[in-house]
Structure 1
Amino acid sequence: MPSLGPGSLLLIALVALLIFGPKKLPELGKAAGNTLREFKNATKGLADDDDDKKKNDKQ
């Protein structure tokens, strides 16, 4: 699977700007960041639970 180059990222940003407009784009970025942060926290909690379970199984 090829990676996205700088030209592709610029094209995606331009299309997003045209579709959503300059006023809505920062709100969408903030919402995406919050979503990723929540997902990261949720998966970290799952990984911590798995580590605790492995430690308890060894004892």
Structure 2
Amino acid sequence: MSEIINLNKARKARAKDERKAKATENRAKFGRAKSAMSLDKARAEKLQRALDDAKREP
């Protein structure tokens, strides 16, 4: 015979695990310092300018 479980506790535990997984994703997505984000933006803009400058006009 299987073990008796409290379905309410199982539901809450599953929800808690889902929240933890979402929090981990959000930390990776949004948890960067403003200086790191501005540095990446500056690098992207510099790369775009270099590509635009290298284009040849017909």
TM-score (norm 1): 0.48
**When you count helix as a share of all residues, which structure comes out higher?**
1
Higher relative contact order (CA 8 A, sep 6+): 1
Max radius of gyration: which structure?
2
TM-score (norm 2): 0.48
